[in-house]
Amino acid sequence: MMMSYLFQGWNCRGPAKYRDMLLDIGTEEMAHVEMLATMIARLLESSPVEAQEDAAKNSAVRAVLGGTNLNDVLLAGINPQHAIVTGGGAAPNDSVGFPWNARYTIASGNLLADFRFNVTAESQGRLQVSRLYELTDDRGVRDMLAFMLARDTMHQNQWLAAIEELEQDGLGGTPVPATFPLDRELRAVAHQYWNCSESTASSAGRWAEGPAPDGEGTFEYLAHPTPLGPEPELGTVDPRLHGTPPVPIPATTK
Amino acid sequence: MMMSYLFQGWNCRGPAKYRDMLLDIGTEEMAHVEMLATMIARLLESSPVEAQEDAAKNSAVRAVLGGTNLNDVLLAGINPQHAIVTGGGAAPNDSVGFPWNARYTIASGNLLADFRFNVTAESQGRLQVSRLYELTDDRGVRDMLAFMLARDTMHQNQWLAAIEELEQDGLGGTPVPATFPLDRELRAVAHQYWNCSESTASSAGRWAEGPAPDGEGTFEYLAHPTPLGPEPELGTVDPRLHGTPPVPIPATTK
Amino acid sequence: MMMSYLFQGWNCRGPAKYRDMLLDIGTEEMAHVEMLATMIARLLESSPVEAQEDAAKNSAVRAVLGGTNLNDVLLAGINPQHAIVTGGGAAPNDSVGFPWNARYTIASGNLLADFRFNVTAESQGRLQVSRLYELTDDRGVRDMLAFMLARDTMHQNQWLAAIEELEQDGLGGTPVPATFPLDRELRAVAHQYWNCSESTASSAGRWAEGPAPDGEGTFEYLAHPTPLGPEPELGTVDPRLHGTPPVPIPATTK
Amino acid sequence: MMMSYLFQGWNCRGPAKYRDMLLDIGTEEMAHVEMLATMIARLLESSPVEAQEDAAKNSAVRAVLGGTNLNDVLLAGINPQHAIVTGGGAAPNDSVGFPWNARYTIASGNLLADFRFNVTAESQGRLQVSRLYELTDDRGVRDMLAFMLARDTMHQNQWLAAIEELEQDGLGGTPVPATFPLDRELRAVAHQYWNCSESTASSAGRWAEGPAPDGEGTFEYLAHPTPLGPEPELGTVDPRLHGTPPVPIPATTK
Amino acid sequence: MMMSYLFQGWNCRGPAKYRDMLLDIGTEEMAHVEMLATMIARLLESSPVEAQEDAAKNSAVRAVLGGTNLNDVLLAGINPQHAIVTGGGAAPNDSVGFPWNARYTIASGNLLADFRFNVTAESQGRLQVSRLYELTDDRGVRDMLAFMLARDTMHQNQWLAAIEELEQDGLGGTPVPATFPLDRELRAVAHQYWNCSESTASSAGRWAEGPAPDGEGTFEYLAHPTPLGPEPELGTVDPRLHGTPPVPIPATTK
Amino acid sequence: MMMSYLFQGWNCRGPAKYRDMLLDIGTEEMAHVEMLATMIARLLESSPVEAQEDAAKNSAVRAVLGGTNLNDVLLAGINPQHAIVTGGGAAPNDSVGFPWNARYTIASGNLLADFRFNVTAESQGRLQVSRLYELTDDRGVRDMLAFMLARDTMHQNQWLAAIEELEQDGLGGTPVPATFPLDRELRAVAHQYWNCSESTASSAGRWAEGPAPDGEGTFEYLAHPTPLGPEPELGTVDPRLHGTPPVPIPATTK
């Protein structure tokens, strides 16, 4: 999330309040990374061999957080490669690093599209932190996670508020991107629900009837949608690509 | 998106209408992949060498869509490896395939977290299709994209409606996950905006004051947030990891 | 495999029976994914804490299949990240999902080249399923795998039959691609076995003498192959690339 | 392919002739890498700015082979990053290096499964080299490729011969792995073709009737296959994972 | 580099001066990312269609830097996907972002090992920036790169100085890690140069004779190194893995 | 490392002694891969079920080395997927293979830049091998690692000697690349240390004062560096990209 927010901010061509807000929260995310890195580094110092009855449980938590120490490795057999590569430090690896690990950076230039991503990222993030919280009963780790859960609550609220603001400023709306002329799309199918299975349980939802959220139409439920055109047929392609043709090609005289 | 929707559906333990809806739209997405694959395969057949003045423009579009043919390759020098590997067919590669390319599959087991992802994916997707539309003036390609733009409009509406439904059914809410007890998080910081830059332009937004969208608190703007604790200090770690210690370690007698 | 077969089908320009067959089996593969996803989701529900003596064994199987639950995680310490990310559902991740995980999609446009890939994929797949079968003694899991083993048997047979058919239709042959004129390759080395080690144990095989499978020549065994040309020497390259030259470059006057 | 063959050889527990043969050809593949690396490095030296009319064509070839030089970069705009990173040398990158680029290493321990992979790799490889040959008319490059095409012909023959040998030695057979007892799979579906589409064009093929290649049964064509069991239903999962349940969970008293 | 330096700093257990220095330079690297992101965003604004004669050249530079605009895309056909995904902003993608793109993060816990990585990263980085400088003659871009070249000069100096300091502080030395007892390695081969080719041109170098840099021995040149042991032979492995054995396994009675 | 050294050698345009040396050591690295592959394959044969008290410890080592067998899998639950995919053989995978696993290939064309990478790779490599040595007490494994530690010692020495040689030959120097004219960089900032944190602990190091290692200037410590220019402002970008503008765009008349 750190990288997404910073790049969204650096690329932001909208009003200054958005740019500043993006950089504020991007900076805060960097602090979160430091906090987690420190927590992991400390956990690696303090796990005495004696406390073996708790070891399996603790090492599960540490494995998720990206840390392991020699004793845990020998005892629980988790991810010894991590100890060998990082020597008892945190690392931003995919297979290890988790809450601070934005899998990819989104910065599309369209703030509404990006803010929707941001509220998603904070939602998946808080869900994962809550699961991690349930997995451990270490007091110190839980205190740390309680802080992160609260900040993720703030950030979900923050992005939802930013989406409201953007819409009130006339800078975004459904469907994204709102600046693309609607009459260029095939309006006839813009509010149709297509049932593509034998079950019609899907007809019971809000998405099957009534006004659509974009205020531009009414949902219509097609229980038996039909193809809009015939089955396609492919033609021939350059023989120099040596693909398989419909009928054998006579031998070239070379 | 195809894979995300199908996996969300197969893993769905919520009411049947959600599972059915997820599988309906997942199936439709599969049809979109087929349509695009066919469009690409056809484009590769019909680009005569004579039409060279349009080639650069067309080949840009085709390159995005994942197709190239020999003439385009020689003329515009784009991605000849694609022609060599696929021989004039569509491919679901990352570097090539674009609108149907969900970069990763999200299926968290929490429907609100996942529906937020879905509305994001449809937003980024429709934004990208609209940009592609602007890049081409090929009549056939634009017709195809007009269809996809409309379906993305429907799908944005559909996921927004599904989020409403989920909240009305009492199966989700902000902050995600709503089932995690709020008193376990550090409530004191759950609605604070932290200004982490010199500029305070960010104080002008909806996220800086007033009731938060979750209905559980009021935004508070901290222009000068202060650390919640002291600077951390790391201790020592197992010497068998051969990290750098604070002071030299005396030579082992081996 | 699902993705490879579908893309091969959508891109197929050969006779209709091949396209239809590719789409049939691609569709069946999609059902396999659903079956496995369901099996995993169910396994996650039914592992009571009491059954701890079997837990290590079961969790090994589940870890391979992509599932873990809280108790297994705490007990066996396997992959807690999976539980945290998917919340008890299946996922198509590389590191987790296994039998249905085609590592990459092959659709070259040449059916013989692709069918050879397909028979390979089904062979590696059935081998992996048979190993998984040996790893577990859970009745339900074994029943499921017995089904998959049989379908992989069918699919190996199917692709071998399709290769026969293709050759009888005159649409493919060894060497692939058969449409490339043989006299353009360096025929002198097209059937020579080159021994590149001190041992000559390799001279005992079918590949060292007798007619070659392509019917175009006879194998020849070279116990001491010699270079076809002199040791190459590289020349100079643009100095603006700042590579290391053979002799120092005099200081530029700038 | 180099890596696959070497690892298959180093891990080989079968008769010595196979191990020796695998290491012979793995070593030869390494020489191919050197030859290509040298060809690229030389191409980068010799493209005078004057020969601009051929530049687009040549640079297409070079881009595929992994090389570019400053003039080509400026003229054709292909992959300038390559020049910047490698400074006029070959590189084994995925996005660049092509004929010698085995995307992943296969060494399963089962020689028949692996030899099938090897014949596939040589088929896809020769197909790609033949397409590259068509893309260029540079005399020197074509001579080089003519050599590689012939060796790929040999290698396809070699792996097909090795498969014959393996079967004659009683060390492999269809279905792979032949050592897994057939009565453990669900024999009832081991030779059934399932038609999974509306079209029945697939009934015309060799895979729809007659004896199966494994000699263990006869193909059977099911035009309307039916489910082997009922629609699955998922149960409940640990609430500490915070997934979405079928009905709202009452508020925890925390 | 930003990520490597920050993680090395956060994980640092050595003297405070190293930790502080690592965080200083990690922070500076973050500013470099912002500068480059801004430069790219600006370049995308200012390329008038009229200036077409320079377009190919400019677009090459922009493509490397991660930027493209519509006109460049249409004209030079480079990477239109970038425009579509980022909409005219910078992105930290691998295929695009270049000088600020540390491909992976190194933080091993051993400062000397990591400082050697850092001096390498700054060397490869400055080499790449210098090549980029040669590729463009845009005044503004060159000014920006002149700044970056100077900072990379400083950073190469800085890491070399830090290596000196570390050795003087007794916290590191050759061979890394210096804390591992030398008598545990096979000292007999610790200073031998093994000639593994027919040429002995390698005997002319500093590495072939004289005192080794670690001060612990003298280089010895073996023109004809011999194996230290016999050719290995593999034994048997668990038959339940269904690998290929040396001789056929009799049919299981199942 | 094998791939990096071989590619550096094949691309080498410097004096013959460097090319020959690179190929010698690249060849040796290939032998290391074979040795490790063999060690792993043997370990997989010899772990009797009875020796269960040592199993957790041994399996940790084997997991790092890339091997596991059925008993270890069932007992310790580590990485069963490896057994299933490779069937008891070594594999060059990232997640498994470790000491011989060069994560990426570096061959920049500039020997000093590359030799600095090589000494880094041997340092990280020996650090990792030493940690692995500490993790096991298997006699045979330790003997093997003792050999590798010694060769890594040699190779660190070898690359440091090669760097000396290169500088004495006038073919390289700090800053890399030495052939780029220094007056083209912004000399004013080429030796300044910028303190970017509140702490000034970094002023105590060798990098903060005195002559710089490149012999071209003196370090200067700026405790409070100031921006070299004003805060940047972005302008407008093509509206057809549908990014978010500073003020709402009036509806297009379409």
Confidence of residue F229 (pLDDT cuts 50, 70, 90): confident
Nearest CA in chain E to D181: E254
Q: What pLDDT score does D99 carry?
A: 31
Counting residues of chain B whose pLDDT is more than 90, the rounded percentage is 48
* CA C116 – CA C110 distance, rounded (Å): 10
Q: What pLDDT score does D137 carry?
A: 77
* CA D197 – CA D224 distance, rounded (Å): 9
* Residue in F130, F131, F242 nearest the CB of B130: F242
Please name which of E115, E63, E129, E65 lies closest in space to residue F108, comparing C-alpha atoms. Answer: E129
Distance linking the first and last C-alpha atoms of chain D: 59
Chain A nearest-CA distance from C16, in A, is: 8
pLDDT in tens, F63-103: 433 333 333 333 333 345 566 777 767 665 433 233 333 34
pLDDT in tens, B7-17: 899 989 999 99
Confidence of residue C187 (pLDDT cuts 50, 70, 90): very high
* Residue in C237, C244, C252 nearest the CB of F111: C244
The three state secondary structure string of chain C is: CHHHHHHHHHCCCCCHHHHHHHHHHHHHHHHHHHHHHHHHHHHCCCCCCCCHHHHHHHHHHHHHHCCCCHHHHHHHCCCHHHHHHHCCCCCCCCCCCCCCCCCCCCCCCCHHHHHHHHHHHHHHHHHHHHHHHHHCCCHHHHHHHHHHHHHHHHHHHHHHHHHHHHHHCCCCCCCCCCCCCHHHCCHHHCCEEECCCCCCHHHHCHHHCCECCCCCCECEEECCCCCCCCCCCCCCCCHHHCCCCCCCCCCCCC
User: Pairing relation of β-strands B220-222 and C220-222?
Assistant: unpaired
Chains near B, with 3+ CB pairs < 8 A? A, C, D, E, F
Q: Which two tokens stand for residue A176?
A: 């994204």
* Residue in F83, F169, F177 nearest the CB of C242: F177
* CA A68 – CA B43 distance, rounded (Å): 54
Q: Which two tokens stand for residue F112?
A: 């000093």
Mean pLDDT, range F137-141, rounded to an integer: 83
Q: What pLDDT score does D172 carry?
A: 94
Q: What pLDDT score does E49 carry?
A: 32
Counting residues of chain D whose pLDDT is more than 70, the rounded percentage is 76
Q: What pLDDT score does B111 carry?
A: 96
The torsion angles phi and psi of B102, rounded to 5 degrees, stand at -75, 120
Q: Say if residue E53's pLDDT is above 60.
A: no
- Mean pLDDT (chain C) is 79
Evaluate whether C80 touches C68 at the Cβ level (below 8 Å): yes
pLDDT in tens, A100-131: 333 457 888 999 999 999 999 999 999 988 98
CA dihedral of residues A117, A118, A120, A122 (deg, nearest 10) = 160
Nearest CA in chain F to D103: F93
Please name which of D147, D133, D126, D139 lies closest in space to residue D43, comparing C-alpha atoms. Answer: D139
Please name which of F100, F39, F104 lies closest in space to residue F67, comparing C-alpha atoms. Answer: F39
Q: Say if residue F217's pLDDT is above 60.
A: yes
- Mean pLDDT (chain F) is 79
Mean pLDDT, range E147-153, rounded to an integer: 95
Q: Which residues from chain C sit within 8 angstroms of residue A246, using beta carbons?
A: 13-15
* CA A249 – CA A243 distance, rounded (Å): 11
Q: What is the pTM of this model?
A: 0.86
Q: What pLDDT score does A2 carry?
A: 82
Counting residues of chain E whose pLDDT is more than 70, the rounded percentage is 76
A161 three-state secondary structure: helix
pLDDT in tens, B143-182: 999 999 999 999 999 999 999 999 999 999 999 999 999 9
Q: Which residues of D touch chain F, with CB atoms under 8 Å apart?
A: 3, 6-7, 10-11, 13, 33-34, 37-38, 41, 85-93, 105, 107-110
Q: Which two tokens stand for residue A177?
A: 């991107």
Please name which of C100, E158, D223 lies closest in space to residue F219, comparing C-alpha atoms. Answer: E158
Q: What pLDDT score does F164 carry?
A: 97
Rg, C-alpha atoms of chain B: 26
Confidence of residue B251 (pLDDT cuts 50, 70, 90): low
Q: Which residues from chain B sit within 8 angstroms of residue E110, using beta carbons?
A: 242-244
Q: What pLDDT score does F91 carry?
A: 61
Q: Which residues from chain A sit within 8 angstroms of residue C117, using beta carbons?
A: none
Check whether the bond before C245 is cis (ω within 30° of 0).
no
- The single-letter code of the amino acid at F144 is M
Helix axes C111-135, D111-135, angle to 10 degrees: 150
* CA E214 – CA B40 distance, rounded (Å): 61
Q: What pLDDT score does C88 carry?
A: 67
Confidence of residue D55 (pLDDT cuts 50, 70, 90): very low
Nearest CA in chain F to C253: F181
Mean pLDDT, range B197-211, rounded to an integer: 95
Long-range contacts at B236-240 (CB < 8 A, ≥ 24 apart): B236/A45, B236/E13, B237/A41, B237/A44, B237/A45, B237/A69, B237/A87, B237/A88, B237/E13, B237/E109, B238/A69, B238/A70, B238/A88, B239/E179, B240/A70, B240/F131, B240/F134
| Contact partners, residue F94, CB within 8 Å, separation at least 6 | F101, F103
pLDDT in tens, D8-24: 999 899 999 999 999 99
Q: What pLDDT score does C165 carry?
A: 97
Confidence of residue E139 (pLDDT cuts 50, 70, 90): confident
* CA E145 – CA E167 distance, rounded (Å): 33
Q: Say if residue E127's pLDDT is above 60.
A: yes
Mean pLDDT, range E1-19, rounded to an integer: 90
pLDDT in tens, D102-136: 345 788 899 999 999 999 999 999 998 898 888 77
Q: Say if residue F202's pLDDT is above 50.
A: yes
- The single-letter code of the amino acid at E72 is D
Confidence of residue C201 (pLDDT cuts 50, 70, 90): very high
Q: What pLDDT score does A73 carry?
A: 32
Nearest CA in chain D to A198: D231
Evaluate whether B84 touches D132 at the Cβ level (below 8 Å): yes
Q: Name the more confident of B123 and B249.
A: B123
Question: Would you list the domain boundaries of chain C?
Answer: 2-168, 182-222
Q: Which residues of F touch chain A, with CB atoms under 8 Å apart?
A: 56-57, 59-61, 63-64, 76-78, 95, 98, 127-128, 131-132, 134-135, 234-237, 239, 241-249, 252, 254
Q: What pLDDT score does F97 carry?
A: 31
Query: Going by CATH, does the domain composed of F2-168 fall within 3.30.460.20?
Result: no
Q: What pLDDT score does F240 carry?
A: 84
Counting residues of chain A whose pLDDT is more than 70, the rounded percentage is 76
Mean pLDDT, range B212-235, rounded to an integer: 91
Q: What pLDDT score does B56 carry?
A: 38
E226 dihedral zone (left: phi>0; alpha: psi -120 to 50; beta): beta
Q: What pLDDT score does B188 carry?
A: 96
Counting residues of chain C whose pLDDT is more than 90, the rounded percentage is 48
Residue of D2, D11, D86 to mutate, interface with F, max F Cβ within 10 Å: D11
Q: Which two tokens stand for residue E237?
A: 């492995």
Q: Name the more confident of C221 and E245.
A: C221
Q: What pLDDT score does D141 carry?
A: 85
| Contact partners, residue A217, CB within 8 Å, separation at least 6 | A190, A191, A211
Q: What pLDDT score does A213 carry?
A: 96
Q: What pLDDT score does E136 carry?
A: 77
Counting residues of chain C whose pLDDT is more than 70, the rounded percentage is 76
**CA distances in angstroms from C9 to A55, A233, D199, D202, F62, listed in the order given:** 52, 12, 13, 12, 43
Q: Which residues from chain E sit within 8 angstroms of residue B132, using beta carbons?
A: 84
Q: What pLDDT score does C99 carry?
A: 31
Mean pLDDT, range B189-202, rounded to an integer: 94
The three state secondary structure string of chain E is: CHHHHHHHHHCCCCCHHHHHHHHHHHHHHHHHHHHHHHHHHHHCCCCCCCCHHHHHHHHHHHHHHCCCCHHHHHHHCCCHHHHHHHCCCCCCCCCCCCCCCCCCCCCCCCHHHHHHHHHHHHHHHHHHHHHHHHHCCCHHHHHHHHHHHHHHHHHHHHHHHHHHHHHHCCCCCCCCCCCCCHHHCCHHHCCEEECCCCCCHHHHCHHHCCECCCCCCECEEECCCCCCCCCCCCCCCCHHHCCCCCCCCCCCCC
Counting residues of chain E whose pLDDT is more than 90, the rounded percentage is 48
Confidence of residue E88 (pLDDT cuts 50, 70, 90): low
Q: What pLDDT score does D183 carry?
A: 95
Q: Say if residue E35's pLDDT is above 80.
A: yes
**CA distances in angstroms from B119 to A191, B91, B122, F86, listed in the order given:** 15, 25, 5, 41
Q: What pLDDT score does A254 carry?
A: 43
* CA E219 – CA E226 distance, rounded (Å): 17
pLDDT-flagged residues of chain A (< 70): 44-83, 88, 90-104, 251-254
Return the minimum-mean-pLDDT range out of B96-100, B138-142, C150-154: B96-100
